[in-house]
Amino acid sequence: MFDHALKKDGAEVYVHVVHGDITSDKNTNVGNVLRKIADMVKTYATRNGLRQGDFIKVIHLMDTDGAFVDSSRVFEDDKVDRARYFDNEIRCHNFEAIVHRNEQKSAVMQKLCGTYKI
């Protein structure tokens, strides 16, 4: 699906799914996210016999997953076992953890949105 939407000028498009969210990983922050993404791209290139010159661009798709929800819209609820997202609020078991995750995730996403080269 993405390969057709992104294909341009006959270039090959490769989609690599990482099965995780680097923006909300507890070990990722504004100071190390660029290195982590560069490492992921290097690993992908090595595994597939690619060189830097084989890449035109890398597009990182991210889900916001509550990152920009104001903490006043996050509610602690002992009845939920994991965060539940609604149109106008998030219900979670641990308010502090979700607020911290959202702050970290939004800061990392803002860093990435302002980055044009890794």
Give the pLDDT confidence of 57-95 residue by residue, as tens digits. Answer: 888 888 888 899 999 999 999 999 999 999 999 999 999
Confidence class of residue 1 from pLDDT cuts 50, 70 and 90? Answer: low
The structure's pTM equals 0.83
**Res 11 pLDDT > 80:** no
**79-118 as b/e, with b when 16 or more CB fall inside 10 Å?**
eeeebeeeeebbbbeeeeebbebbebbbebbeebeeeeee
Q: Averaged over 17-23, what is the pLDDT?
A: 87
Q: Given this model, what pLDDT does residue 2 score? A: 63
The structure tokens 């990435």 sit at 112
Q: What is the pLDDT of residues 92-118, one digit of tens each?
A: 999 999 999 999 999 999 999 989 888
